[in-house]
Amino acid sequence: MFKIANADLATTFRVSEQDGDGLAGQNACRFGLSEDWTGDLTNGLLKLGDRARSLHGLSSHECGLLTVMRCYDPADRAHILRLFEQAATQPSRFCYSTTIVSSTSHRQPVFCIGESSAFEGSGGGMVGLFIFPRFQLPTTVSVTPS
């Protein structure tokens, strides 16, 4: 899944105190881990939290997009790069899902939702959320229709 949409900046992503009352707020940790990330379009760096950094196999919290993508399924990298390139040129919302392939051949699904904004002046930034479901895929995955 690779999606991008122009952002209506009047309705940016916001979290309200009531969001913790729904299914995701009460049970999200049962289904997976989530963590925020940010991106600075002036220097091209993404900043990941502890969990996202570790699950991506990175040693630093700050890194470039290509460094983050090295662990992704090679078939998805070009699509994800295009999403980020488009979001870096105009305010946009985007999402993607892919698989992190570790050096031990474990395959961890990851979902990413993000938004780019603040293009006034010489700036620009991104915010987003990684979601890591609490399961790993087998080293070879095949989908059989029912």
Task: Name the 3-class secondary structure at 39.
Answer: strand
Q: How confident is the model at residue 23 (pLDDT cuts 50, 70, 90)?
A: very low
- Tens digits of per-residue pLDDT, 47-86? 999 999 999 999 999 999 999 999 999 999 999 999 999 9
Q: Are 108 and 99 in contact (CB under 8 A)?
A: yes
Six token digits for residue 110: 């990851």
Please provide the distance, in angstroms rounded to a whole number, between the alpha carbons at the two ends of the chain.
Answer: 21
What's the whole-model pTM score?
0.74
